[in-house]
């Protein structure tokens, strides 16, 4: 029998702010976190803008040795996990440490460290490579270092499902609790890939926007003038608990996680198929897992990357699954403000989805001046909307054809 799983803590670093509160405040205000790249000299690149974390000082949370030896994606994970545990008012005690696990997803891991250490190898030889290089590069070391720091001895894993990694992590953590393998999970997604190789590589694919003169208008999901996504960085961590465990300790419950769906397109390494049947199927599976019907869904935090094919095909998938109800759905893309944070996306957008349920405010899709052909849903354009909702879905899709969907519900202790 599936156990109930609730969200009790949130922690985030995003291009919109260095906390959940600041990020959410700016999201519902419709502010953009996109600006010129500062992490490296991008003057020779096609794209010179990104969604960077700003004014982040890891020494407020970590010691100098940790900051010196860890890649940014690990630092972001440690800080966000600390925020989330503090928000949940939870310390991993010895009596339940073996029932507390960690799953943090990342598409790329320590790419900045990899680039730096490879440069040392080429310029000065192997003796100059840091002994901390490999642990700083490996994608699973976000989960590993969080587990070590906070004493979580239960199930540990790392999802590497490209742009769906954060959602895959939360979905796997949800199942870990629901089917009895843990009572608490520290989970989410992280990415720190605003680097020369990533920006150059996505530029060569013609996947990212070149609207360099208007960075705050560059990410424009569902708009007819969209020309690619904006790469971003960040981390979103949620604390999941089995319901009775959370109630017994008097935890504050933000929402209930009731469904998860994951499918593959089996189509193309980077492009979604027309109609995006795989996305529709993953949404259908999440709804079935929750014991709901499509007409029960009130809001979707869309994948909405600002790429021509993804936005159109996600719209088609929603319309094919929801039928007439699609006209009543509110759908918005917070990537219009954060950019696309790759593996961090699922974690941060799960947090935004939970906050939407909690506060009854739908974050907008900014920069939506003229909807593109075939993009004809209610995308909550430009301005946030006050509307009480009971169920909310978060969509993420990734390279390799992976589709991952989470379904959250307002917590009701009588159900």
Please tell me the predicted confidence (pLDDT) of residue 1: 83
Active-site residue, selected from the candidate residues 235, 262, 276, 303: 303
240 and 282 in a common domain:
no
Active site residue 163: yes
- Do the beta carbons of residue 52 and residue 233 sit within 8 Å? yes
Active site residue 340: yes
Report the Cα–Cα distance between both ends of the chain, in Å, rounded: 15
The more confidently predicted of residues 271 and 231 is: 231
Active site residue 325: no
Query: pLDDT digit string (tens) for 7-60?
Result: 999 999 999 999 999 999 999 999 999 999 999 999 999 999 999 999 999 999
353 and 243 in a common domain:
no
Q: Classify residue 414: in a domain, yes or no.
A: no
Query: pLDDT digit string (tens) for 89-141?
Result: 999 999 999 999 999 999 999 999 999 999 999 999 999 999 999 999 999 99
The rounded distance, in Å, linking the Cα atoms of 216 and 31 is: 8
Q: Classify residue 255: in a domain, yes or no.
A: no
20 and 144 in a common domain:
yes
| Residue 412 pLDDT class (50, 70, 90 cuts) | confident
Active-site residue, selected from the candidate residues 158, 163, 235, 262: 163
373 and 227 in a common domain:
no
Q: Classify residue 113: in a domain, yes or no.
A: yes
Mean pLDDT, range 196-215, rounded to an integer: 97
Mean pLDDT, range 65-88, rounded to an integer: 97
Query: pLDDT digit string (tens) for 151-202?
Result: 999 999 999 999 999 999 999 999 999 999 999 999 999 999 999 999 999 9
Query: pLDDT digit string (tens) for 175-186?
Result: 999 999 999 999
Query: pLDDT digit string (tens) for 335-357?
Result: 999 999 999 999 999 999 999 99
The rounded distance, in Å, linking the Cα atoms of 162 and 105 is: 9
Q: Classify residue 48: in a domain, yes or no.
A: yes
77 and 152 in a common domain:
yes
Last residue in a domain, options 222, 248, 274:
248
Q: Classify residue 91: in a domain, yes or no.
A: yes
Active-site residue, selected from the candidate residues 158, 262, 276, 340: 340
Q: Classify residue 369: in a domain, yes or no.
A: yes
Last residue in a domain, options 194, 224, 248:
248
265 and 194 in a common domain:
no
390 and 277 in a common domain:
yes
45 and 18 in a common domain:
yes
Last residue in a domain, options 218, 248, 278:
248
Q: Is 380 helix (H, G, I), strand (E, B) or coil?
A: coil
Percent of the chain exceeding pLDDT 90 equals 98
The H or E element containing residue 364 is none
209 and 327 in a common domain:
no
Residue 293 has phi, psi (to 5 degrees) of -120, 155
Mean pLDDT, range 224-248, rounded to an integer: 98
Helices (H) and strands (E) in the chain, counts: 13, 14
Closest CA to 335 of 206, 407, 235, 230: 230
Q: Classify residue 12: in a domain, yes or no.
A: yes
Domain that holds residue 329: 261-409
Domain CATH for 347 = 3.40.47.10
284 and 172 in a common domain:
no
Mean pLDDT, range 311-325, rounded to an integer: 98
| Predicted confidence (pLDDT) at residue 415 exceeds the cutoff of 80 | no
The rounded distance, in Å, linking the Cα atoms of 51 and 233 is: 6
The rounded distance, in Å, linking the Cα atoms of 257 and 273 is: 28
172 and 44 in a common domain:
yes
Query: pLDDT digit string (tens) for 218-232?
Result: 999 999 999 999 999
- 184, β-bridge pairs: 100, 241
| Predicted confidence (pLDDT) at residue 248 exceeds the cutoff of 90 | yes
* Backbone CA torsion sign across 141, 143, 147, 153: negative
The rounded distance, in Å, linking the Cα atoms of 113 and 303 is: 28
- State the pairing for strand pair 402-409/255-264: antiparallel
> What's the domain count of the chain?
2
Q: Classify residue 253: in a domain, yes or no.
A: no
32 and 176 in a common domain:
yes
The rounded distance, in Å, linking the Cα atoms of 233 and 26 is: 16
Please tell me the predicted confidence (pLDDT) of residue 413: 79
The rounded distance, in Å, linking the Cα atoms of 76 and 81 is: 8
- Do the beta carbons of residue 228 and residue 266 sit within 8 Å? no
Mean pLDDT, range 385-405, rounded to an integer: 97
The rounded distance, in Å, linking the Cα atoms of 214 and 335 is: 16
């Amino acid at each position: 029998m599936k156990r109930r799983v609730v969200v009790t803590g949130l922690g985030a670093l995003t291009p919109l702010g260095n906390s959940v509160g600041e990020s959410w405040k700016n999201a519902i205000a419709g502010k953009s976190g996109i600006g010129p790249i500062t992490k490296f000299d991008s003057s020779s690149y096609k794209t010179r803008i990104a969604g960077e974390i700003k004014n982040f000082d890891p020494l407020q949370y970590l010691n100098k040795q940790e900051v010196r030896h860890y890649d940014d994606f690990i630092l972001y994970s440690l800080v966000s996990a600390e925020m989330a545990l503090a928000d949940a008012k939870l310390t991993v005690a010895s009596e339940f440490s073996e029932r507390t696990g960690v799953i943090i997803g990342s598409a790329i891991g320590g790419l900045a460290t990899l680039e730096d250490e490879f440069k040392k190898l080429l310029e000065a030889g192997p003796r100059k490579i840091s002994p901390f290089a490999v642990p700083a590069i490996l994608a699973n070391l976000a989960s590993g270092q969080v587990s070590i720091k906070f004493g979580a001895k239960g199930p540990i894993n790392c999802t590497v499902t490209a742009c769906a990694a954060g959602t895959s992590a939360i979905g796997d953590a949800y199942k870990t609790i629901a089917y009895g393998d843990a009572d608490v999970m520290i989970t989410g997604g992280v990415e720190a890939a605003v680097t020369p190789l990533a920006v150059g590589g996505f530029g060569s694919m013609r996947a990212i926007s070149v609207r360099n003169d208007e960075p705050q208008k560059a990410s424009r999901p569902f708009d007819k003038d969209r020309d690619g996504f904006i790469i971003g960085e960040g981390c979103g961590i949620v604390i999941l608990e089995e319901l009775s465990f959370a109630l017994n300790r008097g935890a504050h419950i933000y929402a209930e996680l009731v469904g998860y769906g994951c499918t593959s397109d089996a189509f193309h390494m980077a492009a979604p198929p027309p109609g995006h049947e795989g996305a529709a199927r993953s949404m259908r599976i999440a709804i079935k897992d929750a014991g709901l019907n499509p007409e029960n869904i009130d809001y979707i935090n869309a994948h909405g990357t600002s790429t021509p094919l993804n936005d159109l095909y996600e719209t088609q998938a929603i319309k094919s699954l929801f039928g007439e109800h699609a006209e009543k759905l509110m759908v918005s893309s917070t990537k219009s403000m954060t950019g696309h944070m790759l593996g961090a996306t699922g974690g941060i957008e799960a947090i935004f989805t939970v906050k939407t349920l909690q506060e009854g405010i739908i974050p907008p899709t900014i920069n939506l001046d003229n909807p593109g052909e075939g993009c004809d849903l209610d995308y909550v354009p430009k301005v946030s909307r006050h509307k009480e909702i009971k169920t909310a879905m978060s969509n993420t899709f990734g390279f390799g054809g992976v589709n991952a969907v989470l379904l959250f519900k307002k917590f009701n202790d009588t159900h």
